[in-house]
Amino acid sequence: MGWEFLQGQDAALASLQRDLFTGRVAGSYVFFGPEGVGKAVAATLFAKALQCTGDSPPCSVCLACGKVERGVHPDVIQIRPAEGSLRVGVAEVREFAVQRAHQRPQEGRRQVFLIDDAHQVTLAAFNALLKSLEEPSTDTVFIIITSNLQVLPQTVVSRSRCLRFRSLSRDELRQILAANLKGEVADVERLISLTLGRLGKVFRTDLEVLNGSRECAMEILTGLSEPPGQADEAGLISLAASFGGRGRQVRSEILDFLEMLLGLLRDILGLKVAPDVLEPWNTDLVEALDAIGSRWGIPGLIKAMDRVRGAIRDVGETNTNPSLTLESLVISLRPTVGGG
Protein backbone atom coordinates (compact mmCIF):
# COMPACT_ATOMS: atom_id res chain seq x y z
CA MET A 1 0.00 0.00 0.00
CA GLY A 2 1.50 3.30 -1.11
CA TRP A 3 0.65 6.97 -1.54
CA GLU A 4 -1.81 6.14 -4.33
CA PHE A 5 -4.25 5.07 -1.62
CA LEU A 6 -4.59 8.76 -0.65
CA GLN A 7 -6.21 9.69 -3.94
CA GLY A 8 -8.36 12.77 -3.44
CA GLN A 9 -6.28 14.06 -0.50
CA ASP A 10 -3.89 16.04 -2.68
CA ALA A 11 -3.17 18.91 -0.27
CA ALA A 12 -2.40 16.66 2.72
CA LEU A 13 -0.35 14.29 0.55
CA ALA A 14 1.70 17.12 -0.98
CA SER A 15 2.49 18.49 2.49
CA LEU A 16 3.66 15.10 3.81
CA GLN A 17 5.79 14.39 0.76
CA ARG A 18 7.33 17.87 0.90
CA ASP A 19 8.28 17.36 4.54
CA LEU A 20 9.91 14.03 3.68
CA PHE A 21 11.75 15.44 0.64
CA THR A 22 13.09 18.51 2.46
CA GLY A 23 13.79 16.67 5.71
CA ARG A 24 11.73 19.23 7.61
CA VAL A 25 9.53 16.73 9.42
CA ALA A 26 7.51 18.32 12.23
CA GLY A 27 7.62 16.97 15.76
CA SER A 28 3.84 16.74 15.88
CA TYR A 29 1.07 16.45 13.28
CA VAL A 30 -2.70 16.59 13.62
CA PHE A 31 -4.62 14.77 10.87
CA PHE A 32 -8.23 15.94 10.99
CA GLY A 33 -11.34 15.48 8.88
CA PRO A 34 -14.49 13.36 8.61
CA GLU A 35 -14.53 9.73 9.70
CA GLY A 36 -13.27 7.19 7.20
CA VAL A 37 -11.56 9.44 4.65
CA GLY A 38 -8.09 7.93 5.06
CA LYS A 39 -6.53 9.76 8.03
CA ALA A 40 -5.40 6.57 9.81
CA VAL A 41 -4.19 5.12 6.51
CA ALA A 42 -2.20 8.30 5.87
CA ALA A 43 -0.68 8.03 9.34
CA THR A 44 0.46 4.46 8.67
CA LEU A 45 1.88 5.45 5.28
CA PHE A 46 3.74 8.40 6.80
CA ALA A 47 5.08 6.19 9.59
CA LYS A 48 6.26 3.71 6.94
CA ALA A 49 7.94 6.47 4.99
CA LEU A 50 9.70 7.77 8.12
CA GLN A 51 11.11 4.29 8.84
CA CYS A 52 11.64 3.15 5.24
CA THR A 53 15.13 2.03 4.22
CA GLY A 54 14.31 1.63 0.53
CA ASP A 55 14.00 4.00 -2.40
CA SER A 56 11.01 6.35 -2.79
CA PRO A 57 9.62 5.97 0.76
CA PRO A 58 7.43 4.23 1.59
CA CYS A 59 8.72 1.47 -0.69
CA SER A 60 6.41 -1.15 0.94
CA VAL A 61 9.15 -3.73 0.22
CA CYS A 62 11.83 -3.22 2.85
CA LEU A 63 11.76 -4.92 6.24
CA ALA A 64 10.90 -1.68 8.05
CA CYS A 65 7.86 -0.98 5.84
CA GLY A 66 6.64 -4.53 6.36
CA LYS A 67 6.92 -4.25 10.13
CA VAL A 68 5.02 -0.95 10.24
CA GLU A 69 2.24 -2.32 8.06
CA ARG A 70 1.90 -5.42 10.27
CA GLY A 71 1.93 -3.27 13.41
CA VAL A 72 5.06 -4.85 14.87
CA HIS A 73 7.71 -2.15 14.39
CA PRO A 74 9.19 -1.36 17.84
CA ASP A 75 9.53 2.33 17.02
CA VAL A 76 5.97 2.89 15.80
CA ILE A 77 3.89 3.03 18.97
CA GLN A 78 0.08 3.07 19.07
CA ILE A 79 -1.28 4.86 22.13
CA ARG A 80 -4.55 3.14 23.00
CA PRO A 81 -7.02 3.16 25.91
CA ALA A 82 -6.36 0.74 28.75
CA GLU A 83 -8.30 -2.53 28.57
CA GLY A 84 -11.93 -1.97 29.52
CA SER A 85 -11.74 1.79 28.93
CA LEU A 86 -12.86 3.91 26.01
CA ARG A 87 -10.57 6.86 26.70
CA VAL A 88 -6.82 7.37 26.72
CA GLY A 89 -5.82 8.62 30.16
CA VAL A 90 -2.72 10.00 31.85
CA ALA A 91 -1.34 6.55 32.67
CA GLU A 92 -1.32 5.40 29.02
CA VAL A 93 0.26 8.64 27.79
CA ARG A 94 2.99 8.50 30.43
CA GLU A 95 3.73 4.80 29.88
CA PHE A 96 3.73 4.73 26.09
CA ALA A 97 4.78 8.25 25.13
CA VAL A 98 6.23 10.52 27.82
CA GLN A 99 8.70 7.93 29.17
CA ARG A 100 9.88 7.06 25.66
CA ALA A 101 9.68 10.37 23.79
CA HIS A 102 13.29 11.36 24.48
CA GLN A 103 14.82 7.93 24.08
CA ARG A 104 16.70 6.80 21.00
CA PRO A 105 14.83 4.62 18.49
CA GLN A 106 15.41 0.90 19.04
CA GLU A 107 15.99 0.02 15.39
CA GLY A 108 14.32 2.60 13.17
CA ARG A 109 15.14 6.08 11.96
CA ARG A 110 12.62 7.74 14.30
CA GLN A 111 10.15 7.01 17.04
CA VAL A 112 6.61 7.56 15.75
CA PHE A 113 3.71 7.80 18.19
CA LEU A 114 0.23 7.33 16.73
CA ILE A 115 -2.81 8.60 18.65
CA ASP A 116 -6.01 7.66 16.81
CA ASP A 117 -9.45 8.96 17.84
CA ALA A 118 -7.64 11.72 19.71
CA HIS A 119 -10.96 13.33 20.64
CA GLN A 120 -11.19 10.45 23.15
CA VAL A 121 -7.99 11.48 24.93
CA THR A 122 -8.61 13.14 28.29
CA LEU A 123 -7.53 16.72 28.89
CA ALA A 124 -5.26 15.56 31.71
CA ALA A 125 -3.57 13.11 29.33
CA PHE A 126 -2.95 15.84 26.75
CA ASN A 127 -1.54 18.08 29.48
CA ALA A 128 0.86 15.29 30.43
CA LEU A 129 1.96 15.17 26.79
CA LEU A 130 2.55 18.91 26.38
CA LYS A 131 6.21 19.01 27.43
CA SER A 132 7.04 16.31 24.86
CA LEU A 133 5.29 18.39 22.18
CA GLU A 134 6.94 21.64 23.28
CA GLU A 135 10.47 20.18 23.34
CA PRO A 136 10.36 17.37 20.78
CA SER A 137 13.34 15.17 20.18
CA THR A 138 14.71 15.45 16.65
CA ASP A 139 13.97 11.77 16.02
CA THR A 140 10.47 11.66 17.57
CA VAL A 141 7.21 12.33 15.68
CA PHE A 142 3.67 12.41 17.06
CA ILE A 143 0.73 11.83 14.69
CA ILE A 144 -2.58 12.80 16.29
CA ILE A 145 -5.72 11.70 14.40
CA THR A 146 -9.20 13.08 15.01
CA SER A 147 -12.57 13.64 13.37
CA ASN A 148 -13.24 16.60 15.66
CA LEU A 149 -10.48 19.18 15.72
CA GLN A 150 -12.52 21.53 17.90
CA VAL A 151 -12.32 19.32 20.99
CA LEU A 152 -8.52 19.12 20.99
CA PRO A 153 -6.79 21.51 23.40
CA GLN A 154 -5.52 24.62 21.61
CA THR A 155 -2.18 24.06 23.33
CA VAL A 156 -1.84 20.80 21.36
CA VAL A 157 -3.16 22.17 18.06
CA SER A 158 -0.85 25.20 18.18
CA ARG A 159 2.21 22.97 18.63
CA SER A 160 1.32 20.71 15.70
CA ARG A 161 1.27 20.88 11.93
CA CYS A 162 -2.43 20.43 11.07
CA LEU A 163 -3.43 18.65 7.86
CA ARG A 164 -7.05 18.55 6.76
CA PHE A 165 -8.50 15.46 5.05
CA ARG A 166 -11.65 16.11 3.04
CA SER A 167 -14.75 14.05 2.32
CA LEU A 168 -14.56 11.82 -0.75
CA SER A 169 -17.22 11.37 -3.41
CA ARG A 170 -18.58 7.93 -4.18
CA ASP A 171 -16.82 8.03 -7.55
CA GLU A 172 -13.46 8.74 -5.88
CA LEU A 173 -14.08 5.85 -3.47
CA ARG A 174 -14.84 3.54 -6.41
CA GLN A 175 -11.53 4.46 -8.04
CA ILE A 176 -9.51 4.00 -4.84
CA LEU A 177 -11.04 0.63 -4.01
CA ALA A 178 -10.83 -0.62 -7.59
CA ALA A 179 -7.13 0.27 -7.68
CA ASN A 180 -6.30 -1.25 -4.28
CA LEU A 181 -8.38 -4.43 -4.43
CA LYS A 182 -6.90 -5.75 -7.65
CA GLY A 183 -6.87 -9.52 -7.80
CA GLU A 184 -9.43 -9.78 -5.00
CA VAL A 185 -13.06 -10.70 -5.47
CA ALA A 186 -14.92 -7.67 -4.21
CA ASP A 187 -18.24 -5.97 -4.88
CA VAL A 188 -17.02 -2.39 -4.68
CA GLU A 189 -20.52 -0.90 -4.53
CA ARG A 190 -21.46 -3.20 -1.64
CA LEU A 191 -18.24 -2.32 0.19
CA ILE A 192 -18.98 1.40 -0.11
CA SER A 193 -22.55 0.91 1.10
CA LEU A 194 -21.70 -1.28 4.10
CA THR A 195 -18.87 1.00 5.26
CA LEU A 196 -20.81 4.22 4.50
CA GLY A 197 -17.87 5.28 2.39
CA ARG A 198 -15.30 4.94 5.18
CA LEU A 199 -12.10 3.61 3.69
CA GLY A 200 -10.58 2.39 6.94
CA LYS A 201 -13.49 0.05 7.63
CA VAL A 202 -13.01 -1.75 4.31
CA PHE A 203 -9.67 -3.12 5.47
CA ARG A 204 -10.14 -3.55 9.21
CA THR A 205 -13.77 -4.59 9.70
CA ASP A 206 -15.63 -7.87 9.23
CA LEU A 207 -17.98 -6.88 6.41
CA GLU A 208 -20.39 -9.71 7.22
CA VAL A 209 -20.78 -8.25 10.70
CA LEU A 210 -21.54 -4.88 9.11
CA ASN A 211 -24.07 -6.56 6.83
CA GLY A 212 -25.77 -8.07 9.89
CA SER A 213 -25.81 -4.65 11.55
CA ARG A 214 -27.44 -3.12 8.49
CA GLU A 215 -30.09 -5.82 8.33
CA CYS A 216 -30.92 -5.26 12.01
CA ALA A 217 -31.02 -1.48 11.55
CA MET A 218 -33.33 -1.80 8.53
CA GLU A 219 -35.63 -4.13 10.46
CA ILE A 220 -35.89 -1.58 13.27
CA LEU A 221 -36.49 1.40 10.95
CA THR A 222 -39.05 -0.50 8.89
CA GLY A 223 -40.86 -1.63 12.02
CA LEU A 224 -40.83 1.81 13.61
CA SER A 225 -42.29 3.42 10.48
CA GLU A 226 -45.36 1.16 10.49
CA PRO A 227 -48.70 2.91 11.20
CA PRO A 228 -49.90 3.11 14.83
CA GLY A 229 -51.28 -0.19 16.01
CA GLN A 230 -49.29 -2.16 13.44
CA ALA A 231 -45.77 -1.63 14.76
CA ASP A 232 -44.50 -4.41 17.01
CA GLU A 233 -42.84 -1.99 19.41
CA ALA A 234 -42.16 -4.61 22.07
CA GLY A 235 -40.50 -6.85 19.49
CA LEU A 236 -38.34 -4.00 18.21
CA ILE A 237 -37.26 -3.05 21.73
CA SER A 238 -36.40 -6.70 22.40
CA LEU A 239 -34.43 -6.89 19.14
CA ALA A 240 -32.44 -3.77 20.03
CA ALA A 241 -31.80 -5.00 23.57
CA SER A 242 -30.56 -8.39 22.37
CA PHE A 243 -28.22 -6.72 19.87
CA GLY A 244 -26.85 -4.48 22.61
CA GLY A 245 -26.51 -7.26 25.18
CA ARG A 246 -23.51 -8.97 23.65
CA GLY A 247 -21.03 -7.59 26.14
CA ARG A 248 -18.26 -5.00 26.32
CA GLN A 249 -15.96 -6.98 24.05
CA VAL A 250 -18.05 -6.02 21.01
CA ARG A 251 -18.89 -2.42 21.98
CA SER A 252 -17.23 -1.41 18.71
CA GLU A 253 -19.80 -3.50 16.82
CA ILE A 254 -22.61 -1.70 18.65
CA LEU A 255 -21.10 1.64 17.66
CA ASP A 256 -20.92 0.36 14.07
CA PHE A 257 -24.61 -0.55 14.33
CA LEU A 258 -25.51 2.94 15.56
CA GLU A 259 -23.41 4.54 12.82
CA MET A 260 -25.22 2.30 10.32
CA LEU A 261 -28.58 3.42 11.73
CA LEU A 262 -27.51 7.05 11.42
CA GLY A 263 -26.31 6.47 7.85
CA LEU A 264 -29.63 4.90 6.84
CA LEU A 265 -31.56 7.82 8.35
CA ARG A 266 -29.26 10.22 6.50
CA ASP A 267 -30.04 8.40 3.24
CA ILE A 268 -33.79 8.49 3.94
CA LEU A 269 -33.62 12.23 4.63
CA GLY A 270 -31.57 12.81 1.48
CA LEU A 271 -34.09 10.92 -0.65
CA LYS A 272 -36.86 13.15 0.71
CA VAL A 273 -35.22 16.57 0.49
CA ALA A 274 -32.63 16.35 -2.32
CA PRO A 275 -32.88 13.07 -4.26
CA ASP A 276 -31.13 14.54 -7.31
CA VAL A 277 -28.27 16.05 -5.31
CA LEU A 278 -27.40 13.68 -2.45
CA GLU A 279 -26.45 10.19 -3.59
CA PRO A 280 -27.34 7.67 -0.86
CA TRP A 281 -24.61 5.45 0.55
CA ASN A 282 -26.97 2.47 0.53
CA THR A 283 -27.74 2.53 -3.19
CA ASP A 284 -29.02 -1.06 -3.11
CA LEU A 285 -31.74 -0.14 -0.60
CA VAL A 286 -33.17 2.96 -2.25
CA GLU A 287 -36.66 1.53 -2.78
CA ALA A 288 -36.97 0.31 0.82
CA LEU A 289 -35.54 3.55 2.21
CA ASP A 290 -37.90 5.62 0.07
CA ALA A 291 -40.84 3.63 1.44
CA ILE A 292 -39.74 4.31 5.03
CA GLY A 293 -39.31 8.01 4.21
CA SER A 294 -42.85 8.24 2.85
CA ARG A 295 -44.11 7.46 6.38
CA TRP A 296 -41.48 9.47 8.30
CA GLY A 297 -41.69 13.26 8.10
CA ILE A 298 -38.67 15.50 7.58
CA PRO A 299 -38.78 17.11 11.07
CA GLY A 300 -39.10 13.64 12.60
CA LEU A 301 -36.10 12.35 10.64
CA ILE A 302 -33.98 15.24 11.88
CA LYS A 303 -35.03 14.50 15.47
CA ALA A 304 -34.36 10.80 14.95
CA MET A 305 -30.83 11.50 13.71
CA ASP A 306 -30.14 13.71 16.74
CA ARG A 307 -31.29 10.92 19.05
CA VAL A 308 -29.06 8.35 17.33
CA ARG A 309 -26.11 10.74 17.65
CA GLY A 310 -26.91 10.99 21.35
CA ALA A 311 -26.84 7.20 21.65
CA ILE A 312 -23.47 7.12 19.88
CA ARG A 313 -22.08 9.58 22.43
CA ASP A 314 -23.59 7.58 25.29
CA VAL A 315 -22.07 4.27 24.16
CA GLY A 316 -18.79 5.61 22.80
CA GLU A 317 -17.93 8.33 25.32
CA THR A 318 -20.11 8.06 28.41
CA ASN A 319 -19.71 4.26 28.45
CA THR A 320 -23.38 3.55 29.19
CA ASN A 321 -24.91 0.07 29.17
CA PRO A 322 -25.36 -0.69 25.43
CA SER A 323 -28.48 -2.81 25.88
CA LEU A 324 -30.31 -0.17 27.90
CA THR A 325 -29.12 2.58 25.56
CA LEU A 326 -30.51 0.76 22.50
CA GLU A 327 -33.79 0.02 24.27
CA SER A 328 -34.17 3.69 25.18
CA LEU A 329 -33.24 4.73 21.65
CA VAL A 330 -35.97 2.62 20.05
CA ILE A 331 -38.54 3.98 22.50
CA SER A 332 -37.43 7.56 21.76
CA LEU A 333 -37.49 7.06 17.98
CA ARG A 334 -41.11 5.90 17.73
CA PRO A 335 -42.59 9.38 18.46
CA THR A 336 -40.47 10.94 15.70
CA VAL A 337 -42.29 8.97 12.98
CA GLY A 338 -44.62 11.20 11.04
CA GLY A 339 -42.72 14.31 12.03
CA GLY A 340 -43.51 14.28 15.77
Least confident residue range of 148-152, 176-180, 216-220: 176-180
DSSP track, 275-325: TTTS--S-GGGHHHHHHHHHTS-HHHHHHHHHHHHHHHHIIIII---HHHH
Amino acid at 138: T
How crowded is residue 135: how many other Cβ atoms within 10 Å of its Cβ?
10
Q: What is the CATH number of domain 3-167?
A: 3.40.50.300
pLDDT band at 115 (very low <50, low <70, confident <90, very high): very high
Range(s) of the chain covered by CATH 1.20.272.10 = 206-339
Confidence of residue 4 (pLDDT cuts 50, 70, 90): confident
Mean pLDDT (the chain) is: 86
Instruction: Of 58, 128, 54, 59, give the one whose Cα is nearest residue 88.
Output: 128
Please give the CATH topology (third level) of the domain spanning 206-339.
Zinc Finger, Delta Prime; domain 3 (1.20.272)
pLDDT in tens, 169-187: 888 888 888 777 765 556 8
Query: Which amino acid would we find at residue 68?
Result: V
Each residue's pLDDT tens digit, 196-208: 888 767 766 677 8
- Inform me whether the pLDDT recorded for 164 exceeds 90: yes
As a whole number, mean pLDDT of residues 42-55 equals: 93
Average pLDDT over residues 323-329: 88
Helix, strand or coil, per DSSP, at residue 215: helix
| pLDDT value of residue 81 | 79
User: Mean pLDDT over residues 181-195, rounded?
Assistant: 74
Tens digits of per-residue pLDDT, 223-261? 888 876 676 778 888 888 777 665 444 677 888 889 999
Distances (CA, A) of 5 to 12, 48, 269: 13, 14, 31
Q: What is the pLDDT of residue 1?
A: 66
- CATH 3.40.50.300 residue ranges of the chain are 3-167
